[in-house]
Copies of this chain bind each other. A is one copy, B any other.
């Protein structure tokens, strides 16, 4: 049974702490893959991103995606943490950490989680420009749908 940890939080995310925690006290793990999604400044244009989410469903959906990944690949542990609220360039929006005996399971599980999180987890990004021009909602990318589609059996 894989150890799953999922969290939606308004607080800063500590990637290093999550990686350390997933392997703490165990010596059966051979591979740890982490993904960190960061707020970019878009060539200096962006002051902050505002992450709106659907409380309740966001937790449910991320829990479901993590459980699916843990069922599909032999992972020892899987952590998924997504932040909401106002996020500044350089700060972390999302972290996925997958631990397994062998590396492919960890890589694939982490990628699978990210591809489904992008298309299924109820979060929406709004950009706040540095120069005060009207803010805008980030548009969904067709490439994210394509990325998700490749996991069909």
Contacts and interface: CB of A to CB of B under 8 A. Distances in A.
Secondary structure call for the A interface: mixed
A79 to B, nearest CB: 13
Contacts of A104: 147
Contacts of A30: 37-40
B38 A31 contact: yes
A107 interface: yes
A142 interface: no
Nearest to A43: B28
A119 interface: no
Interface stretch (A16-24, A50-58, A60-68): A16-24
A89 B107 CA distance: 21
14 contacts: A15-B19, A16-B16, A23-B36, A27-B89, A28-B40, A29-B40, A30-B37, A31-B35, A31-B38, A33-B34, A33-B35, A35-B103, A35-B106, A107-B111
